[in-house]
C-alpha cells in the first residue's frame, strides 16, 4: 500500500509540474474570438524566444474561424491589422490544421514556421515574409503560387512529400541554398527564379519544368532524370551552370539555357525539338549531342562562340540564324536536313566544310560571311536563294 501510495504521489507531482510548465495544453477550438484574445494578450502566450505554439488547438465551428471545420488555417483582416503579430518569431501551427490560407506578410519578424499536418500551402501565404528563415511542412503536397515569394532570408525548407510547386513559389528567395523535393513532379513557372544561393538542384521525380523556373540563379549542377519538358527561359542566365543531366527530356523551350556562360557540353539523348534561342549566347559551349532532334529553332545556338562541332543526324529543318555567329564552328554534318533557314550559318568564320546530302532548300544568306568555307556538299539542292554564299553583309 505504501508503494502504491508513493507512486500516485509521484505521478500527481509530475502532472502538476507539466501543467504549470505549459507542456500539457488545454485543447479548445481556435475560433476567431480565441485568436483575437491570443493576439491581445500575446505576451502571455509567447515563450521567451518568441514562439507561439498552437499545436493543441482544435478546429472551430464556423467557416469564418481562424481554424475552420475543414482544417483551413485562414488569417483574417483582424490579424492583418494587429501590431501584436510582430512579436511572434516562431510559429507552430495546430495539429488540426491541414492547409494554410490568407497572408502572413504582416508577420514581419517571423523567423520560423512549422506545421506537422499541413498538406497545402495556399497562394501567397508567406509572401514577402522577409525575415522568414525556416519553413518545415513534412506532409505538404501542394505549394501554391507565390507561397514564399520574396522571402529573401529563407535558408532552410523541408517539403519531402511536395508533389506540385506553384509558379513563383520561391521567387527571389535570395539566400535559399539547399532544397530537397524528392517527390515533386511539377515545377511551376518562376518557382525558383533569382534564387542566387542555389548551387545544386536535384529533382528525381519531376517531369515538367515551367518557364523561368530557375532563371538567373547560381546553379552549377542540375539533375532531372525524369523531366520530359523544359519550359522557356527555365535556366536562362544561370551563368555558373556547368553540368546538367536530362536523359528523358523530349522538348526544350525557347531560351531555356540562353546566356549560360559556363556551359561547356550538353547531351540530350531523347530531345526531338529545340525551340528558338534555346542555347543563345552560351559563350563557352563547345560540344552538343542531340541524336534524335528533328528540328532546330531559329537562333537556337546563336553566338555560341566556342562551338566547334555540330552533328545532328536526324535534323530535317534548321531555323533562321540557328548557328549564326558561331565563330569556332569548323565542321557541320547534317545527313537528313532538308531545309536550311535564312542566315543559318552566317558569320561562321571558321567553318571549313559542310555536308548536307538531303538538303533541298537553302534560304537567303545561309552561309554568308563564312570566309573559310572551302567545301560544301549539296547534291539534292532544288532551290538555292540569292546571296547564300556571299562573304559580305
Per-residue pLDDT of the chain (393 residues; tens, 9 = 90+): 545 544 445 445 444 444 444 444 557 999 988 988 998 899 999 999 999 999 999 999 899 899 999 999 998 655 655 778 889 999 999 999 999 998 888 888 999 999 999 999 999 999 999 999 999 999 999 999 999 999 999 998 889 999 999 999 999 999 998 898 999 999 999 999 999 999 999 999 999 999 999 999 999 999 999 999 999 999 999 999 998 889 999 999 999 999 999 999 999 999 999 999 999 999 999 989 999 999 999 999 999 999 998 889 999 999 999 999 999 999 888 999 999 999 999 999 999 988 999 999 999 999 999 989 988 999 999 999 988 886 533
Is residue 363 assigned to a domain?
Answer: yes
Print the domain residue range for 352: 312-393
CA distance 168 to 158: 17
DSSP β-ladder status, 186-187 and 164-165 = parallel
Domain count of the chain?
A: 1
Query: pLDDT value at position 119?
Result: 98
**Any domain includes 277:** no
Where does the chain have alpha helices with state H?
Answer: 2-21, 32-40, 42-45, 77-80
Q: What is the pLDDT of residue 178?
A: 84
Domain with residue 365: its CATH number is 3.80.10.10
Domain membership flag for residue 388: yes
Single out the residue of 123, 29, 105 nearest to residue 67, CA to CA. Answer: 29
**What pLDDT was estimated at residue 78?**
57
CA distance 208 to 246: 11
In a domain, 185, yes or no: no
Burial class (CB in 10 A: 0-12, 13-18, 19+), 201: buried
Q: What are phi and psi of 311, to 5 degrees?
A: -125, 115
pLDDT at position 243 = 86
Nine cell digits for residue 106: 504582416
- Tell me how far apart the terminal alpha carbons of the chain are, to the nearest angstrom: 107
Distance CA 265, CA 13 (A): 69
* Domain-embedded: residue 345: yes
Do residues 207 and 228 make contact, with C-beta atoms less than 8 angstroms apart?
Answer: yes
Residue 317 lies in a domain: yes
d(CA 162, CA 176): 17
Any domain includes 323: yes
Any domain includes 320:
yes
Amino acid at each position: 500500500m505504501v508503494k502504491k501510495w508513493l507512486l500516485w504521489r509521484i505521478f500527481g507531482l509530475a502532472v502538476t509540474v507539466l501543467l504549470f510548465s505549459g507542456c500539457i495544453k488545454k485543447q479548445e477550438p481556435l475560433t476567431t474570438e480565441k485568436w483575437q484574445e491570443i493576439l491581445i494578450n500575446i505576451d502571455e502566450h509567447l515563450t521567451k524566444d518568441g514562439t507561439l505554439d498552437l499545436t493543441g488547438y482544435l478546429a472551430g465551428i464556423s467557416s469564418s474561424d481562424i481554424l475552420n471545420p475543414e482544417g483551413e488555417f485562414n488569417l483574417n483582416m483582424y490579424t492583418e491589422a494587429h501590431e501584436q503579430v510582430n512579436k511572434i518569431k516562431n510559429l507552430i501551427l495546430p495539429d488540426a490544421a491541414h492547409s494554410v490560407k490568407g497572408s502572413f506578410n504582416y508577420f514581419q519578424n517571423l523567423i520560423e514556421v512549422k506545421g506537422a499536418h499541413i498538406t497545402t500551402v495556399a497562394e501567397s501565404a508567406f509572401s514577402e515574409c522577409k525575415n522568414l528563415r525556416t519553413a518545415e511542412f513534412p506532409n505538404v503536397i501542394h505549394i501554391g503560387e507565390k507561397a514564399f515569394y520574396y522571402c529573401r532570408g529563407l535558408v532552410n525548407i523541408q517539403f519531402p512529400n511536395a508533389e506540385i510547386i506553384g509558379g513563383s513559389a520561391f521567387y527571389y528567395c535570395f539566400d535559399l541554398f539547399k532544397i530537397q523535393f524528392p517527390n515533386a513532379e511539377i515545377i511551376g513557372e518562376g518557382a525558383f527564379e533569382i534564387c542566387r544561393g542555389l548551387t545544386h538542384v536535384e529533382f528525381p521525380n519531376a517531369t515538367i519544368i515551367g518557364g523561368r523556373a530557375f532563371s538567373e540563379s547560381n546553379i552549377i549542377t542540375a539533375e532531372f532524370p525524369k523531366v520530359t519538358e523544359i519550359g522557356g527561359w527555365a535556366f536562362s542566365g544561370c551563368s555558373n551552370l556547368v553540368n546538367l543531366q536530362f536523359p528523358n527530356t523530349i522538348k526544350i523551350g525557347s531560351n531555356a539555357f540562353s546566356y549560360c556562360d559556363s556551359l561547356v557540353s550538353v547531351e540530350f539523348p531523347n530531345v526531338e525539338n529545340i525551340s528558338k534561342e534555346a542555347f543563345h549566347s552560351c559563350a563557352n559551349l563547345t560540344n552538343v549531342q542531340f541524336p534524335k532532334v528533328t528540328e532546330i529553332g531559329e537562333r537556337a545556338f546563336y553566338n555560341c562562340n566556342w562551338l566547334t562541332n555540330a552533328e545532328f543526324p536526324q535534323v530535317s529543318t534548321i531555323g533562321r540564324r540557328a548557328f549564326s555567329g558561331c565563330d569556332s564552328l569548323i565542321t557541320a554534318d547534317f545527313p537528313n536536313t532538308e531545309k536550311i533557314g535564312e542566315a543559318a550559318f552566317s558569320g561562321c568564320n571558321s567553318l571549313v566544310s559542310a555536308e548536307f546530302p538531303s538538303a533541298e532548300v537553302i534560304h537567303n544568306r545561309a552561309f554568308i560571311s563564312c570566309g573559310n568555307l572551302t567545301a560544301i556538299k549539296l547534291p539534292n539542292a532544288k532551290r538555292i536563294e540569292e546571296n547564300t554564299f556571299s562573304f559580305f553583309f
